[in-house]
Amino acid sequence: MKPSPNREKWVLGGTLYLQGSGRSASPSALKAHLRIVNGKIDAITKKAPTRFPKGVEKIDATGLTILPGFVQAHVHLCQTLFRNLADDLELLDWLANRIWPMEAAHTEETLRASALLGIHELLSSGTTCILDMGTVRHTESIFEVVRKTGIRASVGKCLMDHPETTPTDLREPTRDALAEARALYERWNGTENDRIRVSYAPRFVISCTEQLLTEVARLAREQKALIHTHASENLKEIQLVKKLVDCENIEYLHQLGMTSERLVLAHCIWLKPNEKRILARSGTHVVHCPSSNMKLASGLAHIPDLRARGVNVALGADGAPCNNNLDQFREMRMAALLHKPGAGPKAMRAQEVLDMATRAGARALGWWDDIGSIEIGKKADLIALDLNTPTNAVPAGHEQDPEAIASSVVYSSSPAHLSWTMVDGRVLFKHGKVRGIPAGPLMEKVRRAQTEIARSIAKKRGGVG
């Protein structure tokens, strides 16, 4: 899918949800028009031109609410094919018995199908930017799909080199794993007008040697790159970490020089007070994945406490087989509700959760200067919602009330209320269709890929393929 030529376009007549530049800026709502030039927001004005130059594209947003696109700071596109195949297991069993065998069976083609399926769902539900952890092999395929589909993404090759704790068919020699990760960084980082970036993605402490983690920390410092990993998700995991390295997860990462504003940690459920202090002092980002945490019976992350300490907390759906969807609307609602019984009704207000799904994600990914809010000079990564339906209507007289808008988005909206999704000024989803990914041919690829993976696993296990 070739990108459309950069040109002027207008989004006319919508209500803009504006969060502002400051970390604690109060949101506002404004009925206005957006002028977009070369994929960036060039003007926000209450009065549209009476005449437009020839060739200007006009998008009628009358009656719609325009928000920044959702940013998911932790997903696994490589796992989308495995949806509904890994239920009712805790993390380590889930990985060993389901996920790792399926990841090891991936080919370039099956990984492309998995990435296409995930991106189709993400764009169809308002997510415009992701931080993705691939699997060990064929990561190039994910980058190719990201390039073709138009989504914004930071992608990392999964790193697994520990000789005692990783399966042989996913384990790599340390030198080879790092060499491929560096090569991907040199080839892809900043491409497509900086729509694609590359991160380093050691899976978690259990799967990685100290040599690998230390080298990742050095590379991230030198290249100013992100590190994307999991930490303190499961009690058995942290017990194994303690056995392997004789300290807690976050303490160990801190000792290796990994904790900083370049580190993005998924989950962080089981944290000691000292670990929370390290996260706050170092500027390390945390990604809350509430549905995944519940489904894998991992536990309840202390998100209100982390946020009160000044930790930047973003949202992510994690992978399709531990969720079983990639829908940021569901993650927002879950995050808003989950913490109220223990921390009080004001613990996670709708406006704060909406910020986690947009601004906080942009900060975690190092993209805050470009995305995460509707501001002049930022990329036109936008979504349009219909908040005037029987199931999610903003009350009469509150159409420009940011609190009412946030409540509608977080508590009662869903992908069904999404009119369109835009990245870099290009509409990638509209009228139920994702540009360049027709649903029929996509599902044919998905079924072929799932069949191929199942046959590969059966063959390895000595079954009938």
pLDDT digits (tens, 9 = 90+) for 197-243: 999 999 999 999 999 999 999 999 999 999 999 999 999 999 999 99
Question: Do residue 20 and residue 145 come from a single domain?
Answer: no
Here the CATH number for the domain that contains residue 393 is 2.30.40.10
Q: Which of 364, 380, 414 is the last residue of a domain?
A: 364
Judgement on whether residues 88 and 196 belong to the same structural domain of the protein: yes
Report the C-alpha gap between 258 and 419 in whole angstroms. 41
- Does residue 62 sit in the same domain as residue 112? no
Going by pLDDT thresholds of 50, 70 and 90, the confidence category of residue 22 is low
Residues 183, 49 share a domain: no
Please tell me whether residues 63 and 117 are part of one structural domain: no
For residues 326 and 230, state if they share a domain.
Answer: yes
Confidence class of residue 23 from pLDDT cuts 50, 70 and 90? low
Distance (Å, whole) CA 274 – CA 267: 17
Q: Is residue 461 part of a domain?
A: no
R_g (Cα) of the chain, nearest Å: 22
Element (H, E) at 315: strand 313-315
Do 94 and 227 belong to one domain?
A: yes
Residue 19: the pLDDT is: 86
Residue where one domain finishes, among candidates 364, 390, 422: 364
pLDDT of res. 21: 67
Backbone angles phi, psi at 110, to 5 degrees: -70, -35
Residue 324 in domain = yes
> Could you please report the per-residue DSSP string of 357-416?
HTHHHHHHTT-TTTSSS--TTSB--EEEE---STTTPPPTT-TT-HHHHHHIIIII--GG
Sequential DSSP letters for 216-232: HHHHHHHHT--EEEEES
Whether residues 160 and 194 fall in one domain: yes
> Is residue 446 assigned to a domain?
no
Q: Tell me, yes or no, whether 438 lies in a domain.
A: no
Residues 329 and 309 in one domain: yes
The pLDDT tens digits of the residues spanning 99-144 come to 999 999 999 999 999 999 999 999 999 999 999 999 999 999 999 9
Q: Are residues 142 and 278 in the same domain?
A: yes
Which residue range forms the structural domain that includes residue 167? 70-364
Confirm whether 158 is domain-assigned. Answer: yes
Say how many domains are in the chain: 2
Whether 315 and 332 share a structural domain: yes
Domain CATH for 360 = 3.20.20.140
Which residues are CB-neighbours of 233 under 8 A, at least 6 positions away? 91, 204, 266, 267, 268, 269, 270, 293, 296, 298
Residue 29 clears pLDDT 60, i.e. is over it = yes
d(CA 383, CA 233): 31
Residues 86 and 63 in one domain: no
Tokens of 350: 């709708």
Residue 4 has pLDDT above 70, yes or no: no
Q: Is residue 449 part of a domain?
A: no
Does residue 441 fall inside a structural domain?
Answer: no
- What pLDDT was estimated at residue 24? 58
pTM of the shown model: 0.95
Q: Choose one of 332, 347, 364: the last residue of a domain.
A: 364
Q: Is the pLDDT of residue 1 over 60?
A: no
436 within a domain of the structure (yes/no): no
Q: Could you read off the pLDDT of 245-283 as tens digits, one per residue?
A: 999 999 999 999 999 999 999 999 999 999 999 999 999
Q: Per DSSP, what are the bridge partners of residue 315?
A: 288
Give the integer Cα–Cα distance in Å for 315 and 395.
27
- State pLDDT tens for residues 278-307: 999 999 999 999 999 999 999 999 999 999
> Among 21-30, 64-73, 86-95, 398-407, which is the least confidently predicted range?
21-30
Dihedral, CA of residue 22, residue 312, residue 321 and residue 329, to nearest 10: -30
